[in-house]
Amino acid sequence: MTDKNKIAESAGDPFAGYYVSAFAEAEKGKNTWNWAAFFGGVYWLHFRKMYMFAWLYMFLLAFLFFAFKVCHFSYPICVFMTLLIVNIYPGFFGNKIYYRRVKKNIKAGYHLCDKYNPVSPWLLYLTCNILNPVAAFVTWLHDKRLLRKTLESGVPLDCDLTEKNINAAVLIRSADYYAREFKKIENGKIISLNWAACFGNSCWFIYRKMYLYGFLFWLSDAAAYFIFVSKVLPGKLWSVLNLLPTKAILAESVRSSPLDFWIGLGIMSAIMLATRLALLSGAANRLYYLRLTKSAAPVKPMRQTSLKSTKKSH
């Protein structure tokens, strides 16, 4: 396999092999910590197609938040304590729950479907949307149709929990996409579309293990929001700590100073739109290509002369 093929294959899923070892521990009855599940919470559950757990998570989230509000905690403390308590569960038990899910999928034969997508990235952005149950149902029907067609084609059913089957049931199948896009970059083409990076923004960079870029793009969104708040609510820095201005505050700001509101909203939208268009048009794939080529670069062997010279000097 050439270096270019290795780069494209490694781009498919940066967590290849992680769930194999995590499931081996789950088979022994042991829990392993999952940082993605801890920080992602409901997003991780949706991303891994565990919709029932995601909706249960949302119910528990709302219940705890209401309980903290009844106890007269401030808004930032309510948010922090609720997320901390609720996210501990997927962080500690996420791999075991996912292991049971993947084991069930392998037994059914989903890993044998050529066009089966083990994750649902587009649902990641509908988590708090009223269309989320509809999107989950459509995805479920699509997967069922793929499975039925695969089984009707006479493919031999391999239900063993091997490393190959686990990777087929877990890993994102995007190696072909990145091989195609990286070839465009090497040929000097400017446009290289990446919808996942456009919608995912900092989350996409973190998933692809480009943490510095993830932080920088998150910082750009935070700066855009800060500009919006400072324009809408001048002199009220506390509103930034409240995560989002309430509807009553926004309604009052629109009535009192509509021009400032729309200017602030326009600046925030322009900054966010500019970063996402840059990621969509090619910046994300180029940064990812540079990271993979840098990590795949051969390490230069150490010169032996220095060692010999030190021996002679002694």
Alpha-carbon distances of 83 from 58, 95, 236, rounded to whole Å: 11, 19, 25
pLDDT attached to residue 307:
41
Residue type, 101: R
Name the more confident of 209 and 73: 209
Q: Which of 107, 97, 116, 108 is nearest to 44 (CA)?
A: 97
234 against 44, higher pLDDT: 44
DSSP state of 233: S
pLDDT in tens, 106-157: 999 998 888 888 887 565 555 445 567 777 788 888 889 999 998 888 888 8
- Determine what percent of the chain is predicted with pLDDT higher than 90: 9
Average pLDDT (29-47) is 87
pLDDT given at position 184: 86
What average pLDDT score do residues 148-177 get? 84
- CA distances (Å), origin 109, targets 27, 95, 139: 20, 20, 17
CA 182 to chain centre: 21
CA 177, CA 208: separation in Å to the nearest integer?
Answer: 15
What tokens were used for 87?
């996210």
Return all residues near 182 (Cβ < 8 A) that are at least 6 apart.
4, 7, 8, 11, 285, 289
Instruction: Name the DSSP letter for residue 31.
Output: -
Q: Which run of H or of E encompasses 145? A: helix 132-152
Task: Identify which of 109, 118, 126 has the alpha carbon closest to the alpha carbon of residue 173.
Answer: 118
Q: What is the pTM of this model?
A: 0.73
The top-scoring range by mean pLDDT among 82-91, 100-109, 273-282 is: 100-109
Tokens at residue 199, please? 């919608």
Other beta carbons within 10 Å of 274: 12
Map 68-89 to HEC letters: HHHCCCCHHHHHHHHHHHHHHH
b/e burial code for range 209-242 (CB count within 10 A of at least 16 → b): ebeebbeebeebbeebbebbbbbbbeeeeebbee
Residue 101 has pLDDT above 90, yes or no: yes
Answer yes or no: is pLDDT of 97 > 90: yes
Q: How confident is the model at residue 33 (pLDDT cuts 50, 70, 90)?
A: very high
DSSP at 120: -
Q: Is the pLDDT of residue 245 over 80?
A: no
Q: Which helix (H) or strand (E) holds 310?
A: helix 305-313
Mean pLDDT of 55-60: 86
Q: What are the E-state strand segments in the chain? A: none
pLDDT: is 261 or 194 the higher one?
Answer: 194
Q: Please give the C-alpha separations between residue 93 and each of 29, 98, 155, 202, in angstroms, as whole numbers.
A: 11, 9, 34, 25
- Residue with token string 């990590």: 295
Q: Residue 312: its pLDDT value, please?
A: 47
Of residues 150 and 232, more confidently modeled: 150
Q: Which of 108, 104, 89 is nearest to 45 (CA)?
A: 89
Question: What mean pLDDT, rounded, does the chain reach?
Answer: 77
Query: In this predicted model, which residue has the larger pLDDT, 298 or 44?
Result: 44
pLDDT at residue 98, rounded to an integer: 93
* pLDDT band of 278, cuts 50, 70, 90: confident
Residue 177 has pLDDT above 80, yes or no: yes
